[in-house]
Amino acid sequence: MAMSRFRALISSSNFKSPLISPPFQSSPIRRFSSSQFESVGFIGLGNMGFRMAQNLMKAGYKLTVHDINCNVMKTFSEMGALTKETPSEVAEASDVVITMLPSSSHVLDVYNGPNGLLKGGNFLRPRLLIDSSTIDPQTSRKISAAVSNCILKDKKDLWENPVMLDAPVSGGVLAAEGGTLTFMAAKLCNNLAMAVSMLGVSEALALGQSLGITASTLTKIFNSSSARCWSSDSYNPVPGVMEGVPSSRNYGGGFASKLMAKDLNLASASAKDIGRECPLTSKAQEIYTKICEEGHEFEDFSCVFRHYYSGKDEV
């Protein structure tokens, strides 16, 4: 998480909460300054959260963390962060709390569980709660409503109530490590497009190989013409074509296929809720479910090139 982006997120005088509730009315403008958030809590130290929290520490923020993984908690303690056994203890020590969790059920538990962020009832210390998890809109709205009904324990700078931001991220582990994540409020739509794009690029590259065109040659053609996209020029799925991406590490250390399947399930459910047909969503959902069922759920989602399309490594 780039600190410049973090400061921009909380200090922009024109920033509006990206969480829109029916009938699509935006929340009142709330002005933030980085000096208000010197103590930062971070909950969820997985592949993404670990790197985001680490960048916050490097930038000099006082960090308090929580995760169910004792080993990662020990690592952050050795780096100088405060560690807490429960989310509620993180809330008591923080001006702002960031959550980065795998699913809606995890987010609900961290917020509303017996030892959750909202354990204190109607009184909260954190002024700002930022959820960077990718979850369904209904859960985000439910949590936002609960937070908005709370009152700050320590009122200052005209703050009366805490604010919850729905702020999932895009860019994956590489961007989290490099501090170049993009924050958004439309993550399900973004990941749907990303999944379909990866499938299209993988299908075309595998077809090209079968027709006698190397993946490197075809990638150069894509990236010099109308087929150019993130899946071809920045996250190529063919092992041996591009360095520094999961396909060059046997599909390790990226965005797990099980997470992509989860996001596609959420996108599909959201489409059904409003009565919209999304055939590409359904097909992508089917493919990534199959990939996971075949034992590749922890491999990066670009592994569809190898495991679904039977694509070959670049020699």
Supply the pLDDT for residue 170.
86
Contacts of 227 (CB under 8 A, 6+ apart): 201, 204, 221
Catalytic residue among 187, 220, 258, 290: 187
Supply the pLDDT for residue 21.
32
**How many CA atoms within 13 Å lie on the side-chain side of 152?**
18
Tell me which of 1 and 140 has the higher pLDDT: 140
Supply the pLDDT for residue 18.
34
Tell me which of 33 and 276 has the higher pLDDT: 276
Long-range CB contacts for residues 16-25, cutoff 8 Å, separation at least 24: 17/163, 17/164, 17/165, 17/166, 18/165, 18/166, 18/167, 18/184, 18/185, 19/140, 19/141, 19/144, 19/164, 19/165, 19/166, 19/185, 20/185, 21/141, 21/144, 21/145
Contacts of 253 (CB under 8 A, 6+ apart): 47, 173, 246, 300
Q: Each residue of 202-212: pLDDT tens digit? A: 999 999 999 99
Supply the pLDDT for residue 253.
84
Mean pLDDT is lowest, of 36-45, 78-87, 224-233, for 36-45
Whether 262 sits among the annotated catalytic residues: the reply is: no
Average the pLDDT over 172-188 and give the result.
Answer: 89
Token pair for residue 180?
A: 């170049």
The whole-chain average pLDDT of the chain stands at: 88
- pLDDT reading at 111 higher than 70: yes
Average the pLDDT over 230-234 and give the result.
Answer: 96
Mean pLDDT is lowest, of 22-31, 62-71, 157-166, for 22-31
Separation CA 58–CA 80 (nearest Å): 11
Supply the pLDDT for residue 35.
54
Average the pLDDT over 54-59 and give the result.
Answer: 94
The model carries a pTM of 0.74
> Do the beta carbons of residue 304 and residue 228 sit within 8 Å?
no
Q: How confident is the model at residue 154 (pLDDT cuts 50, 70, 90)?
A: confident
Q: How confident is the model at residue 156 (pLDDT cuts 50, 70, 90)?
A: low
- pLDDT reading at 110 higher than 80: yes
- pLDDT reading at 226 higher than 70: yes
Q: Look at the block and give the residue holding tokens 């493919």.
A: 287
- pLDDT reading at 14 higher than 80: no
Average the pLDDT over 270-298 and give the result.
Answer: 96
Supply the pLDDT for residue 1.
40
Contacts of 26 (CB under 8 A, 6+ apart): 16, 17, 20
Q: Each residue of 59-85: pLDDT tens digit? A: 999 999 999 999 999 999 999 999 999
Q: How confident is the model at residue 220 (pLDDT cuts 50, 70, 90)?
A: very high
> Do the beta carbons of residue 39 and residue 95 sit within 8 Å?
yes
Average the pLDDT over 222-245 and give the result.
Answer: 96
